Amino acid sequence: MRFFTGSLMLSAAAIAVAAPAHAQDGEQGRAINVQPYIEVSQILSAELSPGSDTLTYTQLAAGVDVNAQGRNSGASVSVRYERNIGYGDAVDSDTVSGVARGYLSVVPRTLTLEGGALASRTRVDGGGAVSPNPLVSADATSQIYSLYAGPSLSTEVGAVDVTAVARVGYNRFEASDALIDANGDPVDVFDDSVTYSGQVRAGTRPGDPLPVGLAVTAGGYQEDISNLDQRVRDVYVRGDVTIPVTPSLAIVGGAGYEDVEVSSRDALRDANGDPVVGTDGRLVTDTASPRILAFDVDGLLWDVGVLWRPSSRTSLSAYVGERYDSTTYYGSFTYVPNRRSALSISVYDGVSGFGGTLNNSLAALSTDFSALRNPVTGDFGGLTTGEEGSGLINSLGSIRSAAFRGRGVNASYQRQMGRLTAAFGAGYDRRTFIAAAGTALEALDGLRDESYYVTGGVTRQLGDRASLQANAYVNWFDAGSADGDLTAMGASASYNRSITDRLSARAAVAVDYFDSDFTAEDFATATGLLGLRYNF
């Protein structure tokens, strides 16, 4: 079983709670840009292989793009509602898509509220694989939602810096029809989850008052997954020391105690002992079943690493240690040589459910960005550009309901050259699933799904009234089960021309290719669009 999106790429993120990313009070002036709009377009979509069906749609859309940056607050929002009216065999659809991140300093430099939200659509065919073009092969439409919010605190008690952060999140995967595998059997996919996370840290800087920096951190994470009442719980306490080697290089190390548990209940069984499946295709939880442990590790955690910051433009952190009773690696690298380019790389390792990866990816986004959208479908492609560089909500990978350990790396790069802006993202994600013996999910325990993904977008201004945009993506998915592999790739281009100060015309084309071992034939489609947009 595997599920994959062509319009949004997203992966697991580290469980560690990070401070909100935003400019501090006084670092920037106030700038607010709110752009509501409506669009009307005509779409022609042609199947190139294996068939030759041609479908037409009228697309009506309304949305708003917001970028508001103040001295004590900041937010970026891109939200779009779309109605596709099909003709002939084409199927009507309604979609809400978008991404938002923001913060508000209740007490400047001390108490901050932050939050984020994501909505993305996918289209699933009868075999359970997601089509790269949501307007074609419309067997079922799926919608993914994620949101989180919480406060963060930063203060000083003498020479001790005290920071704290807390978050609550909600995530949901909706499918209009039950998903089935190649044999026609229902597939249990993620439904929804609630996440809770928090961390408190108290520490001193090297040289004040001691030659080395010392810190104590305590925190926890929990995700409650509705499928079989699964629960991921991780609590820890640790101490850390920072030893300066040079003004730009430090050795860091830490050790502590961690208790990690993954548990669930069993599915309701029928008279033959087989799991009961609901009308939505998901396993029905036996609420009377006792909670069964799938993963239970407690004891020592430790890591050592380096912090390197030769200038304000370059930063590296790299760690190796032991966590979850095995070796762990994680870290990050950022390089911003000037205002025109920025590179960011992140290596992660954490235990969570599907929802936890969404919340963590959202929290890692900047609050000052512009969302890149597919010019034909209007979907958010998981990539953003902004003053702090590009951001990436990476591979969704598998949408299995089981909890997993997610490890991988993702990178994003942004470059501005005169009137041309380019942004790229790439990464690798590996998920090893965790399920309790004796439950309906037992067969997933130890199963490994892997995803590779590359996406990019280029925008070129043509004078004051026109622009060109081109996007492309390639996704590879290697399922750990016998379902087979998947390759999805596509490219799109659009031309936009202002007719008046508020009215503009656009033309766009897209080509998508879909190759899955799940089906006997490959699929290729071409889509064209002509439309008008009015900015209020």
Residues 407-442: tens digit of each pLDDT? 999 999 999 898 999 999 999 999 999 999 989 999
pLDDT tens-digit profile of 368-408? 888 888 888 888 878 888 777 677 776 567 788 899 999 99
Question: What is the residue type of 50?
Answer: P
Phi-psi region of 245 (alpha: psi -120 to 50; beta: other; left: phi over 0): alpha
pLDDT of residue 51: 80
Phi-psi region of 168 (alpha: psi -120 to 50; beta: other; left: phi over 0): beta
Task: Identify the H or E element spanning 386.
Answer: none
Average pLDDT, integer, range 13-24: 37
50-64, 128-142, 326-340, 468-482: segment of lowest average pLDDT: 128-142
The length of the chain in residues reads 536
- DSSP annotation of 124 reads E
pTM score of the predicted model: 0.87
Assess whether pLDDT exceeds 50 at residue 16: no
pLDDT band at 511 (very low <50, low <70, confident <90, very high): very high
Q: How far apart are CA 171 and CA 355, in angstroms?
A: 5
Q: How far apart are CA 332 and CA 129, in angstroms?
A: 32
Assess whether pLDDT exceeds 80 at residue 133: no
Q: How far apart are CA 47 and CA 520, in angstroms?
A: 16
Average pLDDT, integer, range 258-282: 91
93-102, 127-136, 171-180, 516-525: segment of lowest average pLDDT: 127-136
pLDDT of residue 12: 31
- DSSP annotation of 399 reads -
Assess whether pLDDT exceeds 70 at residue 4: no
Average pLDDT, the chain: 86
Average pLDDT, integer, range 17-46: 70
Assess whether pLDDT exceeds 90 at residue 18: no
pLDDT tens-digit profile of 209-228? 999 999 999 999 999 999 99
More confident of the two residues 160 and 375? 160
Reduced to 3 states, what is the DSSP secondary structure of residue 361? helix
Neighbours of 269 (CB within 10 A): 14
Instruction: Name the residue among 400, 391, 358 with its Cα closest to residue 372.
Output: 391
* Domains of the chain and any CATH numbers: 31-535 (2.40.170)
Q: How far apart are CA 325 and CA 443, in angstroms?
A: 22
Assess whether pLDDT exceeds 50 at residue 472: yes
pLDDT band at 19 (very low <50, low <70, confident <90, very high): very low
Assess whether pLDDT exceeds 80 at residue 8: no
Reduced to 3 states, what is the DSSP secondary structure of residue 43? strand
